[in-house]
């Protein structure tokens, strides 16, 4: 399998001297859906912000064989896009169209291509009928989907989602999971929602105190009750139900 992300000996500390990432070594492969889990303050968000150069630590990160540095950040961000936890961090324009068109416009695309990308992205998240809406008039769940569309319109090779289901009611959560399932390409999901991680991800990394505790297939991580409890997490109900059903059969 082709590696699309290679992380070697990554360390990151904030200006106050608090270390959040310590000797991270990790490979992520083309077209896999990869989960990042850990308790509050474990370093999940710090890690994903290093992946597209919002934060730059010590060590080496390669995105599609290109090593991240301060000079090539714009090129890296064309290849890897982040959907932030709070959609209001990504929605700032007058209309939904303007928000989704912002990325393609900054890529220098012509008007026809920008319109095509906006329409395509909104269709992927089932929000094409909202193209002329004011973002402030949308529900939180609708804003979540539009924020995904703002990244999709850039056509990145890799998409990162930071706590995509947080703040959603069960109906909105189910709709979002269906959207995430159908998105093509490499996806990285950082979340406390371990039921979602179990349902969507192929492999998982557990981090705590800025360090990798374990990397493995989802069953290897998410069915290990002691491992999760030792790191202030719980086995997801979805995994328990599926295991019990498998045992009965």
**Residue 238: its pLDDT value, please?**
84
Q: What is the pLDDT along the chain (249 residues), one digit of tens a residue?
A: 899 999 999 999 998 877 889 999 999 999 999 999 999 999 999 999 999 999 999 999 999 999 999 999 999 999 999 999 999 999 999 999 999 999 999 999 999 999 999 999 999 999 999 999 999 999 999 999 999 999 999 999 999 999 999 999 999 999 999 999 999 999 999 999 999 999 999 999 999 999 999 999 999 999 999 999 999 999 999 888 777 766 766
206 sits in which H/E element? strand 203-208
- Residue 1 has what pLDDT? 86
DSSP state of 247: H
DSSP H or E stretch at residue 226: helix 225-230
Q: What is the dihedral of CA 117, 161, 164, 130, to 10 degrees?
A: -10
Q: Which residues contact 137 (CB under 8 A, 6 or more apart)?
A: none
Closest listed residue to residue 173, CA positions, set 102, 238, 220, 108:
238
Instruction: Map residue 127 onto helix, strand or coil.
Output: coil
Q: According to the CATH classification, is domain 3-248 in 3.30.70.1400?
A: no
What are the boundaries of each domain within the chain?
A: 3-248
pTM of full prediction above 0.85: yes
Non-local CB neighbours of 112 within 8 Å, separated by 6+ positions: none
């Amino acid at each position: 399998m082709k590696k699309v992300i290679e992380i070697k000996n990554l360390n990151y500390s904030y200006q106050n001297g608090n270390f959040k990432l310590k000797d991270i070594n990790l490979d992520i492969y083309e077209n896999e859906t990869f989960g990042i889990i850990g308790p509050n303050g474990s370093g999940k968000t710090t890690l994903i912000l290093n992946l597209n150069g919002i934060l730059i630590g010590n060590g080496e990160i390669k995105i599609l064989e290109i090593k991240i540095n301060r000079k090539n950040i714009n090129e890296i961000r064309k290849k890897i896009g982040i959907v932030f936890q709070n959609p209001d961090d990504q929605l700032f324009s007058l209309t939904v169209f303007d928000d989704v068109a912002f990325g393609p416009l900054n890529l220098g695309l012509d008007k026809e291509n920008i319109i095509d990308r906006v329409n395509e992205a909104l269709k992927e998240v089932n929000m094409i009928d909202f193209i002329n809406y004011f973002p402030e008039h949308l529900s939180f769940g609708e804003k979540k989907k539009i924020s995904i569309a703002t990244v999709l319109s850039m056509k990145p090779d890799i998409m990162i989602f930071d706590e995509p289901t947080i703040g959603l009611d069960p109906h909105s959560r189910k709709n979002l999971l269906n959207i995430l399932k159908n998105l093509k390409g490499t996806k990285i999901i950082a979340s406390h929602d371990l039921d979602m991680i179990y349902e969507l991800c192929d492999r998982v990394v557990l981090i705590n105190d800025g360090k990798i505790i374990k990397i493995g297939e989802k069953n290897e991580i998410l069915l290990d009750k002691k491992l999760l409890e030792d790191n202030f997490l719980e086995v997801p109900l979805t995994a328990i139900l599926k295991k019990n059903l498998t045992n009965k059969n």
